Amino acid sequence: MKTRLCLLLSLLLPFAANAADPAIDAAFDATMQRYRLPGLAVGIVQDGEVVYTRTAGELAAGSGEAIDSKTLFKIASNTKAMTAATLARLVDAGKLKWDDPVQRHLPQFRMQDAWVTREMQVRDLLIHNSGLPAGAGDLMLWPEPNDFSRADIIQGLAHLKPVYSFRSRYAYDNLLYIVAGEVAAAAGGAPYETLVRREVFESLGMQRCQVGDWRRDEVGNVAQPHVWRDGRNMPVRADGVQVRATTMEAAGGIRCSLDDMLAWVRAWLSPQDTAAWLSSAQRQAVWAPQMPMPLSARMRDWDRSHFSAYGYGWRLADVDGEFKVAHTGTLMGMYSAVTMLPDRKTGFVILINGEAEDARTVLTQVLVKHYTARDPSLTVAHYAGLLDAEQARRPAEEKAPDTSKRRAAKPAELQARLGVYRDPWFGEASLCVDRGAVRLRAVRSPRLTGIVQRVGERWLVNWDDPGVDAEAWLQFDESGLMRMAKVDPQADFSYDYEDLAFQRSGTCP
């Protein structure tokens, strides 16, 4: 108890005063302006102290409520490292081992291949080596709300088809992190939400972090996601009064403030201060390269990188000859980044409540180079220009096609295809006439409902909800299966339409 109290007090000490740095301030300002962000929060830790914090923008555009260092943001996949840390704490406590078979803790767990089912270990759940395609089954998680439970996720995995051999290559996965959370719950004797609060939030003094059920107005100061529409930032998927626990908590459901995330970074960069929280052996395991990752041309060109790998909830690489530990988080209208340079005892956090993939990439890169290169020419404008050049060079087949010449499908054109369909993991969907239009409606994911339109010789589903930001092609193969595919090849892989195979099971009511 005394050790735990000392650890908590050390992390709750007042953060160092903001050290003004003109170069970082300039990058902050340039990112806000160039990418028209609704809100941005940035913090830097160095030598165990918070040396820089800055925030700008609003919780919701037009609200007049300013973002500050205590504002809650969705950290999305930066949750994964917290799930891994929860498991590492259980390993330290002797409640599980990294090489335990998953079925030892979850006997109901199944993959499509029986051998993979038997051989899948706890460690495999965290390192994206399952053989499934990237984002497989993510339509059971997003868009929210839907009625898929964690038990449905475990059951659905048996129906997802691998495209690679088990442990042969990296392909990003969310569903197995849900399984990892359930393994933690089984081994730890408490729900995932209880465990991560106890093992991470409370242990490290992350006082504002939220997971599970909570009330928006009681917690207060909560940033809302935004999309850029009609020349302005518009809130989307705004929270209701009651924020409910979601199926995807262990993969991407945690919210934290900038202050919380800086405490999280300090815990990793100052092991001497948090030795009671996590053993040296488990710190080494979490940051050890577990699965090789592809080394992109951008990493070679921008960072002179030689290796890239995934640890337990972290991406590992070298940049300008230095070790880098990092992860990003992406949900619609919310972007985050955590980056650490352990040899420098330096790390930084970026939290954004808008559409900000390029903004996050550029600002992260400028902050990294501020420490590893010290070249004043490596500015926001420099890296934004490189991204623009990449986009210009992208082949036509990798760009979204022009679908502007579209019209509503006539019921007679799809008469032979109308009916009720079922996919083995996603469940039922209907393709039926509704008030003179052909409508596709997913029963278990209510946001996935839309009017079928015709584009040339192809069918396209125009979703009713503007928050579903990836349109889908609708196609029928010779065997009668109804399939789907992303219209934009660059759309988020979590819209895994390609994994669906609907078999007709009935007629329209």
pLDDT digits (tens, 9 = 90+) for 25-67: 999 999 999 999 999 999 999 999 999 999 999 999 999 999 9
| Chain centroid to CA 395 | 27
Residue type, 277: W
Q: Across-strand partners of 350?
A: 42, 337
Q: How far is it, in rounded angstroms, from Cα 439 to Cα 442? A: 10
| Chain centroid to CA 249 | 11
223's tokens: 């940033």
Which residues in the chain show pLDDT less than 70?
Answer: 1-20
Q: Do 355 and 34 meet the contact criterion of CB atoms below 8 Å apart?
A: no
Say how many Å lie between the first and final Cα of the chain, rounded: 63
Q: How far is it, in rounded angstroms, from Cα 160 to Cα 140? A: 12
Handedness of CA 268, 274, 275, 277 (dihedral sign): negative
Q: Do 299 and 291 meet the contact criterion of CB atoms below 8 Å apart?
A: no
Interacting residues of 322 by C-beta distance below 8 A, sequence separation 6+: 341, 343, 344, 372
Residue type, 127: I
Q: Do 31 and 363 meet the contact criterion of CB atoms below 8 Å apart?
A: yes
Q: How far is it, in rounded angstroms, from Cα 206 to Cα 11? A: 9
Q: How far is it, in rounded angstroms, from Cα 421 to Cα 423? A: 7
Q: How far is it, in rounded angstroms, from Cα 107 to Cα 90? A: 19
pLDDT at residue 3, as a whole number: 39
Q: How far is it, in rounded angstroms, from Cα 250 to Cα 382? A: 36
State the pTM of this model: 0.94
Structural domains of the chain sorted by starting position, each given as residue range(s) with its CATH number in brackets? 2-58+70-89+183-391 (3.40.710.10), 407-506 (2.40.128)
Q: How far is it, in rounded angstroms, from Cα 280 to Cα 274? A: 10
**Between the CA atoms of 243, 247, 249 and 254, what dihedral angle is there, to the nearest 10 degrees?**
-20
Q: How far is it, in rounded angstroms, from Cα 138 to Cα 34? A: 32
Chain position carrying tokens 């955590």: 338
Q: How far is it, in rounded angstroms, from Cα 40 to Cα 59? A: 10
DSSP state of 202: I
Residue type, 26: A
Burial of 291-305, coded b for 16+ CB within 10 Å and e otherwise, reads bebeeeeebeebbeb
Sheet holding 315-319, edge to edge: 49-57, 39-46, 346-352, 334-341, 322-331, 315-319, 308-310, 291-292
Upstream peptide bond of 143 is cis (omega within 30 degrees of 0): yes
The dihedral region occupied by 494, where left means phi > 0, alpha psi between -120 and 50, and beta the remainder, is: alpha
pLDDT at residue 247, as a whole number: 97
Q: How far is it, in rounded angstroms, from Cα 258 to Cα 117? A: 39
Q: Got the DSSP string for 207-232?
A: TT-B-SSEEHHHH--B---EEEETTE
Phi/psi of residue 364, nearest 5 degrees: -60, -45
pLDDT at residue 21, as a whole number: 81
Compute the radius of gyration of the chain from its Cα atoms.
Answer: 23
Q: How far is it, in rounded angstroms, from Cα 281 to Cα 88? A: 10
pLDDT at residue 329, as a whole number: 98
